[in-house]
Amino acid sequence: KGELVPDDLVIKMILDKVETEGADGFLLDGFPRTVGQADALGGEMSGLGRRLTAALLVDAADEEVVRRLSGRRQCKQGHVFHVDFDPPKHDGVCDQDGTKLAQRDDDRPEIVQRRLVEYHRATEPLVDYYEERGLLRCFDGTRSPTEVHDHIRATLATLRLEEQL
């Protein structure tokens, strides 16, 4: 039906996965999206004797987010390219399998703008939420994708070392 899954069900699914596969840590992408979800997740994690050690924010101005998302192209097999950062050898054709590359509907500029409005309304308050708890780690989203990736990996490695102490 295209409806959102209830928060309690999403949290249960996350906790089940954490219990079965998260002994060495885990990374969530896209959840929580609201302060209410963050509170619920934190409470449930606490009940398991676990805690979140960090919240990662890749920070960039809306214009940059639109540019980066609207520049993505992918084939039906899921190979992803970017018109600026990782263009295919032949425009519009996947280097991996020779099929046509297309822009996802969600990556069209007008859709990205709408998603950003919702982000600012519902999700942006999580920045203060996690900052107040000393968990926020920020990354410069205007740097190259490789630089952002490397910075995140280094931060996660440091966090793992700190957890072992």
pLDDT at 1: 61
Mean pLDDT of all residues belonging to the chain: 93
pLDDT at 162: 81
User: What is the per-residue burial (b if ≥16 Cβ within 10 Å, else e) of 42-52?
Assistant: bebbeeeebeb
Model pTM? 0.85
- Overall average pLDDT of the 27-53 stretch: 92
CA dist 145 → 31, 72, 104, 126, 148 (Å):
21, 12, 19, 23, 5
Tokens of 141: 């989203």
pLDDT at 165: 65
Which is higher by pLDDT, 66 or 23? 66
Domains and CATH numbers, the chain: 53-164 (3.40.50.300)
pLDDT at 157: 92
